[in-house]
A and B are shown apart, each in its own frame.
Chain A
Amino acid sequence: MSLGVARLTSVNVRKDLRLEWRSRDVFNSMLFFALLVVVVFSFAFDPSAEESRRMLGGLIWIAFLFSTTMALNQSWARELRNGVLDAYRVSPAPPEALFLGKCLGNFLFVLLLECLMAPLFIIFYNLRPLGPVWQLVVISLLGTWALVVNGTFFAVMSIRTRSRELMLPLLLLPVSIPAVLMMVTATTAVLTGESSPVPQLKFLAGYCVVFTTTCFLLFDTVLNAE
C-alpha cells in the first residue's frame, strides 16, 4: 500500500511538472509577478545597503508569498477542467497521494522561483548577507514548505467555494502569519548577522510538522465535502 502511495505521488508530481513544462503559464506569471514586486519596492523605498538588510527579509517573503498564492490557485484550477478532480474522487487512489503530489510539485516551482530571484535581490538591493549564507537555504526550504503545504490545502478548499481564486488569500494569510513572521525574523537575523536564526528555525520546523499532519488528516474530508 505504501509503495502504491509513493508511486501515485510520483505519477502526480511528474504529471504536474510535464504540464507546467509544456505550458509554462503558471511559472512565467509567478516569475514576472515576483520580479515586479522587487522592482516596485525598490522604486518605492530606494534603500541603502544597510537599510535593505533590515527590510529585505520582509520583502523577499512578501514577494514569494504572493506569487505562491498565484501558483496555488492555478494548480487546482487545472484539475477542474475536464472534471479531472471528480474523476480522481471516484477512483480508488488514496487522496493523500494526490495532495502530496500537488505539494511537492508546488514546492519545486516555488524553490525554482526562489533560486531565480535570489540574484535579482542581490543586484537590485546591493545585498551582502553578514551572517552564514547556508542558513538562508534552510530557512527557504522550511519556509517554502510551510507556505506550500497550507497553501495547497486552502487552495483545494477555496476552489470549492463560489468566489474561487478570491478566497485563497483570505484563508491562507491569517493561518500563515506565524510562519511568515518566523521566516522574516530568521532571514533578517541572517542578513544583518546580529543574532542566530536557530530558535526561529526550530519553531518553523514545528509549524511544518503540525500543519502537514493536519492537512493530511483533513484533506480527504475537504476533497469529498458535499
Chain B
Amino acid sequence: MKSKLFTPALVVVACLLGYGTYLGLKVAPTEATMGDVQRIFYCHVPSASTGFTLFFLNFIASVVYLWKKSPKADAWAVTTAEVGVVFCSVVLVTGPIWARYAWGTWWVWDMRLTTTLILWLLYVSYLVLRRSSEAGSSSVLAAALAVFAFLDVPIVYMANRWFRTNHPQPMIGTPNLDPRMAHVLYVNMIAFLFFGLLIAWFRYDLERVSQKLAALHIRRAAGGGASLAVLPAMFLEAGHVNPNFYLYGAYFAAWGIYIGYLLFLMSKLRKLHQEEREMRVS
C-alpha cells in the first residue's frame, strides 16, 4: 500500500516544490524596500510552519504512545521530532541571513527568535535523550519529555512579551500582504508541508525498519531515497533574479541542510541494508 503511494507522492512533492520556488524567485513581485532579499520569506515562513506542524504531530504521537504504547506511535514521534528539528534549523539559518540584510544584525533576542531557538533546543534535547537512554525505557522517557516541550512552547512565547519585538508581524490573512505575494506564500507553504511530510514518511519507514529489521520493509523504504532527486530541480530556477549574496546564501543554506539530512538518512539506510545482509548470512 505504502510503497505504491510513495512514488506518486514523490512526483507531486517535486512538482509542488519546483513550482513554489519558481513562483518565489521569478513570479512574485519584488518587495519595495527590501528588494529581492525579501524572497527568503518564501523559504523561511513555509519551513517554520512545517516545522511547527511536525512538532505538534510529535506531541500527538507521544500522547498516543503514552496511552496505547504502540511502537508505531513511537516511530512517528521520533520521526516528526527529527524532521522538525531539520526544518527548524532551516528557519534558524535563513532568518539571521535575512535579518543581517534587513535589520543590519544577525540576531536579536526578540520574541519569535527566542521562542524558535528554545523550541529547537528542546527538541534537540529530546533527540539526545532518545540516543542516550536504554532501549526499553527510551520511548517512555522521550514521550514524557515531549509533553513538557509542547507545554513549554506557549509559555516561552508569552514569557517573551516583556521584550520588545522586532520580528515582522504575521501578515497572513491581513490586507497588508500583496495578494500576488500571498498566493506565492501559500503555494510554498503547501509545498514545504508536503515535502516535510514526505521526508517524515521516509524517515518513519526507516524507523520501523530499525525496529524490526525486516527485509520487505527495507526495500520499501529504499524508494524514499529517490526524494533526493527533487532537490537539484530547485537550483535550476534561481537564474533570473538580481544576484544577491543574502538571497542566495539563504537558499543555499536551506537546501544544504535539507540535502545534508537526506544524505544522512541515505547512509542510515545503507547501514540497515548491511545489517540485514549480515543477519541473512549468519
Contacts and interface: CB of A to CB of B under 8 A. Distances in A.
Contacts of A218: 66, 144, 147
Interface string A99-110: 000000000000
B162 A200 contact: yes
B128 A177 contact: no
Contacts of A163: 132
A54 interface: no
Contacts of A160: 133-134, 137, 141
A221 interface: yes
B118 A174 contact: yes
B184 interface: no
A136 to B, nearest CB: 18
B133 A210 contact: no
B164 to A, nearest CB: 13
A109 B144 CA distance: 27
A145 B66 CA distance: 26
Interface residues of A, number: 29
B144 A222 contact: yes
A92 B204 CA distance: 39
Nearest to A206: B155
Interface stretch (A37-45, A60-68, A178-186): A178-186
Contacts of A222: 140-141, 144
A150 B155 CA distance: 14
A212 B49 CA distance: 30
Contact of B125 (A150, A171, A200, A207): A171
Contacts of A162: 132-134
**Residue among B151, B156, B159 with the most chain A CB within 10 A?**
B159
Interface in A154-213: 157, 160-163, 167, 170-171, 173-175, 177-178, 181-182, 185, 199-200, 203, 207, 210-211
Contacts of A214: 147-148, 151
Contacts of B132: 161-163, 167
B275 interface: no
A161 B118 contact: no
The secondary structure that dominates the B interface is helix
Contacts of B145: 157, 171
Contacts of B263: none
B175 interface: no
Contacts of A1: none
B136 interface: yes
Given A170-B128, A174-B121, A174-B122, A203 B133 contact: no
Nearest to B136: A226
A211 B133 contact: no
Nearest to A186: B162
A174 B149 CA distance: 9
Nearest to B119: A174
A199 B161 CA distance: 11
B190 interface: no
A191 B7 CA distance: 63
B279 interface: no
Interface in B126-177: 128-129, 132-134, 136-137, 140-141, 144-145, 147-149, 151-152, 155-156, 158-160, 162
A87 B151 CA distance: 32
A123 interface: no
B144 A157 contact: yes
B136 A203 contact: no
A163 B140 CA distance: 17
A160 B134 CA distance: 8
A203 B162 CA distance: 11
Nearest to A219: B144
Contact of A178 (B144, B147, B149, B159): B159
Which 5 A-B pairs rank lowest in CB-CB distance, beginning with the nearest?
A225-B140, A225-B137, A178-B159, A161-B133, A174-B121
12 contacts: A157-B141, A157-B145, A167-B128, A170-B129, A174-B149, A175-B148, A177-B152, A177-B159, A178-B152, A199-B162, A218-B144, A221-B66
Given A203-B158, A214-B148, 17 more contacts: A157-B141, A157-B145, A170-B125, A174-B149, A174-B152, A175-B152, A177-B118, A178-B155, A181-B160, A200-B162, A203-B159, A207-B155, A214-B151, A218-B144, A222-B140, A222-B144, A226-B136
Interface of B: 66, 118, 121-122, 125, 128-129, 132-134, 136-137, 140-141, 144-145, 147-149, 151-152, 155-156, 158-160, 162
